Amino acid sequence: MRKKKSDLLSADKNYVPASEDDGDELYPNGIFVFNITKMIEYIRAHQDEIPLESIEVKAYTRGWSKLAEVTIDKADITVPLILAEISPGRYNVIDGNHRLEKAYRVGVDHITAYKLTPEHHMPFLTSLKAYHTYIEYWNSKIKDM
């Protein structure tokens, strides 16, 4: 886990936000919008860089009230979740909330997930503003440690 000021993120002056093509799945989290479709394509092509991990279902279940019941029923819990490190050592589910909820409801204790560091998930932010804001946010968390 990152804990040192030397772990601050720096902006890449050549950063290009992920495009948003028709049909792409996006995950909005306030100003931070991730292109999940392109992220999944990247993970599939770079599985040697991003290990698959077993995570505890209860540690990530949030009791979502806005999840579609029909989608939960159809969810395939064998498909890995995608978690993004949103602050040092803290991960949020950015793809797979329906699968996670289904796993919880059927009593599964562990599920597989890709845990992405900022270096792995930031390329999939869809705007420059989000990219720069994320770097500021992350670095503030490091400085507060």
Give the pair of three-digit tokens for residue 35.
Answer: 């292109």
Residue 13 lies in a domain: no
CATH of the domain at 80: 3.90.1530
Task: Judge whether 9 lies within some domain.
Answer: no
Segment 80-136, tens digit of pLDDT? 999 999 888 899 999 999 999 999 999 999 999 999 999 999 999 999 999 999 999
Nearest to 35 by CA among 15, 18, 16: 18
More confident residue, 143 or 23: 23
Residues pairing with 29 in the sheet: 32
Partners of 110 in the β-ladder: 56
Per-residue pLDDT, 144: 81
Strands 81-87 and 110-116: parallel
In the block, tokens 């290990």 appear at: 51
- Is position 125 within any domain? yes
Specify if 2 maps to a domain. Answer: no
Per DSSP, helices labelled H in the chain are 36-45, 57-60, 69-74, 97-105, 118-121, 128-144
Residue 47 lies in a domain: yes
Q: What is the pLDDT of residue 47?
A: 87
Is 4 a domain residue? Answer: no
Instruction: For tokens 């290009």, name the residue.
Output: 16
Residue 127 maps to a domain: yes
Render pLDDT for 33-75 as a digit per residue (tens, 0 to 9): 999 999 999 999 998 889 899 999 999 987 666 888 899 999 9
Enclosing domain of residue 43: 26-144
Instruction: Give domain status of residue 93, yes or no.
Output: yes
Long-range contacts of 97-103 (CB under 8 A, 24+ apart): 97/62, 97/64, 97/67, 98/67, 98/68, 98/71, 98/72, 99/75, 100/57, 100/60, 100/61, 101/61, 101/64, 101/67, 101/72, 101/75, 102/72, 102/73, 102/75, 102/77, 103/57, 103/77
- Can you read off the two tokens belonging to residue 72? 């939960």
Task: Check pLDDT > 50 for residue 1.
Answer: no
pLDDT of residue 2: 43
> What global pTM score does this model have?
0.88
Looking at the 3D structure of the chain, how many domains does it have? 1
pLDDT tops 70 at residue 6: no
Instruction: Please give the Cα distance from 58 to 41 (Å, whole number).
Output: 28
Give residue 5's identity as a one-letter amino acid code. Answer: K
